[in-house]
Structure 1
C-alpha cells in the first residue's frame, strides 16, 4: 500500500459507464446562499471505507480556516447531502475506492466529497477557483471532472509552490481526474466563459482526506 506521506500525484480516467451514471445527478444540485452561490451549486457529504464497505458519516458543516481559504475561510458552510441514489451506485463507490487506493488513505480517515456545478456566463469570466493558487489543508485531494458543457477555460492546474507556474494545465473532461498530495502541491483552475447562450457549466467532484 502506498503511504500518504510518500504519495505525490496521479492522473486517471473513470470508466465511461461511471461517467454516464454520475452525470445526470448534477442537474439536481441546489442553489447556495454563500459567497460563491451565484455561480456554484453544491452538495457535500463525508464517508468512511473499511474492508470495501462504504459508509455515510453523520452530516457536518464544512469549514476551512481563513489562512487556507482567503475567499470564505472561517465560515461554517452547511450544504445538502449528496443524494442516496448517487451514493448507492457502483460508480460512486468505485470513484471513492479508487481515490482511497491511489492516495493511500487509511481506514480510519474519512473522505469528504463535494459535488459541484460551476456555472459560466458570457458577460464575465467565472472564477472556478476564487482562492487562486491554493491548498485545501488535507493530506490528499482529487478533482474529478465529469462533464463540460458550452464553456471554454476551466483548466485544472497543479503547481509546485503558490507562486510557481503550473507544471500541469489540462482541460479535464468526461471523468478525467487528478489525485495529488495536498501537502506537497498547490492547485488552481482558470476562469470559465460561456461559448453560447445555452446552459454553460463544468461538473466536478472534489474529494479530500
Structure 2
C-alpha cells in the first residue's frame, strides 16, 4: 500500500486515509430517514424490472442491469444524457475496449428520492479527497444462479473499474451462497474480505489504490435458484472538473 503522505520539513508525515470503508446498513438507512417509506420500497422493487445484460456472451443470461450517469452539484444530482458505458481493456480484460449500451435507469429510479439520498451519502464517505469528483455512474445489477449454472458478479476476476472511487451497496440477497467480496492491494495480496448480507451494507473503495473481485454466486442449500441485487456507483471527475 502507498505510504504516508508527505509533510512539511520537520513535521511528522500525515497518515494516508485507508483505501476503503466497509459499513453496515445503518449509514444509508440514516440517509433515507425523512423520505417516504414507499419510495425506498419502489426503489428496491425496480430490480425486478432489469433487462438481461446483452454483452455477456453466454447462452443463459445470469446478469441483468440498467445504467445511468449524473453530475453532482452539492446536494443535487443532474441526470446526464444516456450513453454507452466504456472501460479500457487494461482494466476489464473480458469486456473492455468496447462501448456497452445498457438499458437506462427507469425515470422513477433516476429522479427518485431514494437514489439521490444514497448517492449523496456515498459521496460524503469517499475514502479520499472529493475535490473534482463531481460525476457518477449508477449501475443496477442483478445476478442469478441456478443449480445448473452459477452466476458471476465479476467475470473479469480481480480487477479495477477504471474510476476514482467505487461504491458497492447490497440491495437484496435471497437464497444464495458465495458472492464474497475481496479487496486486494496493487500486488494482488488480499487486504479485506466480506460477505455482504444485510440490505444497504456497503463497501466504498479507492479504485486507484485497491483491486477488487467477487466470488461466484450459487443457490443456497435446498434452493433451486438464488438472486443477488447490487447498486454500484462509480465516482470520477467530469469533463472540465478540477483535479483532486
Task: Note whether the superposition's TM-score is higher than 0.5.
Answer: yes
From 52, 56, 60, give the equivalent of 1:35: 56
Q: Deviations over 1:92-125 (max 9, x none)?
A: 1111101211115446621001111011111133
Corresponding residue for residue 47 of structure 2 = 26
* Match status 1:132 vs 2:157: yes
Residue equivalent to 2:176: 151
> 1:161 Cα shift?
3.0
- Compute the TM-score of the two structures, normalised by the length of structure 1: 0.88
Match of 1:45 in 2: 68
Q: Secondary structure at the match of 2:109?
A: helix
SS in 1 for 2:95: coil
Contiguous gaps of at least 5 residues in structure 2: 1-15, 236-244
Q: Partners of 2:134 and 2:193 in 1: how far apart? A: 28
Q: Secondary structure at the match of 2:186?
A: coil
1: distance between equivalents of 2:133 and 2:201? Answer: 27
**Structure 1 unpaired stretches of 5+:** none
CA separation in 1, counterparts of 2:196 and 2:66?
Answer: 23
Contact 2:196/2:202, CA 8 A, preserved across alignment = no
One of 119, 122, 142 as aligned partner of 1:96: 119
Shift of 1:165: 2.7
Q: 1:34 to 1:63 in 2, by over 3 A?
A: same
Instruction: Report SS of the residue matched to 1:120.
Output: strand
Aligned to 1:208: 234
Residues 182 and 190 in structure 2, CA contact (< 8 A), matched pair in contact too: no
SS in 1 for 2:67: strand
Q: Give secondary structure in 1 for the equivalent of 2:100.
A: coil
Structure number with greater Rg is 2
CA shift, 1:7, in A, is 6.4
List 4+ stretches of structure 1 deviating above 6 A: none
**TM-score (structure 2 length as normaliser):** 0.77
Deviation at 1:197, TM superposition (A): 2.1
| CA deviation vs aligned residue, 1:31-69 (integer Å, no higher than 9, x gap) | 222126711101010001213111101111101111110
The alignment's C-alpha RMSD in Å is 2.1
Counting only pairs closer than 5 Å after superposition, residues 1-20 of structure 1 correspond to structure 2 as: 8-12=19-23, 13=25, 14-15=28-29, 20=41
Task: Say if 2:204 is the partner of 1:179.
Answer: yes
Give the stretch that moved more between structures: 163-172 or 184-193: 163-172
Partners of 1:172 and 1:178 in 2: how far apart?
12
Match of 1:167 among 177, 183, 192: 192
Match of 2:77 in 1: 54
Once the two structures are superposed, the pairs formed by residues 96-115 of structure 1 within 5 Å of their partners are 96-103=119-126, 104-106=129-131, 109-115=134-140
Aligned pair count reads: 204
Checking the alignment, whether the CA contact within 8 Å between 1:31 and 1:41 is kept in structure 2 is yes
**Distance of aligned partners of 1:108 and 1:58 in 2 relative to their CA distance in 1, 3 Å threshold:** farther
Secondary structure at the aligned position of 1:25 is classed as helix
